Structure 1
Amino acid sequence: MKTLLLNDGDIVFGENNELLMAEEEEEEKQSLQMLVGTNLGEWFLNETDHGLRYDRIQVKNPDVEVISYEVRHSLAQESRVKEILSVNVTFDRTKRALEISYQVRMDSGNIVEDKVVM
């Protein structure tokens, strides 16, 4: 597949102001980033089946197991995900920082790895 290349949700332009495209593994990674980075119910075209339940993550005392489950559920929304290999959640209470890393095998055979810090 091909789609517009995004950087932090913004469209990326080339040196001559041409639209840059994301393809293959880069497009797969971007698709998963969009799922994990979108609050469930936030995207107006699909309010029930697209995104991550931030209401279960952004709480006073985060539960690592609940967060891991919600991330797995979110990643599974991408139809091209063949297998979720790992989801690791680390919460640093002193810095109030949550780090989520995941590794996914796609139908294409590509293994996509990424990390999100909240």
Structure 2
Amino acid sequence: MTDFIRNHLKLKQQAATTKRSTHKAKRGTVNKSRLPNPSDFYRQFDITVKGGSGWQMVKCPFHDDTHASMGVNREHGGYRCHACGACGDCIGFYMQWYSVSFIDACQSLQLIEGCNDDR
């Protein structure tokens, strides 16, 4: 009886692995290198990131900000508001700005590669 159970579990595991790899191929992959330069990205939202490299302070668009309380990193595009707590990367900013899901944001930003769907 133990050989039967072992074989059954092995077949079930192989089927799950095949299903996962097939499902992954349909979804495509997110290529963050396709994102624009962080300064160019935030400029689309009327946020001007001035200065050199590193973190720069700007007014946060997610709350009524009277002074610069949000830091934006010019190198990797991360952001963090020290007043309202909003934080993330360029994709997260897009998601929060337009109130969309991760997949919708990646599709809008044209970051998904290798997707077999014709959506």
TM-score by length of 2: 0.26
Please identify which structure carries the higher strand content: 1
Greater fraction of residues in helix: 2
TM-score, normalised by the number of residues in structure 1:
0.26
Q: Which structure has the higher relative contact order (CA within 8 Å, separation 6+)?
A: 2
Query: Max radius of gyration: which structure?
Result: 2
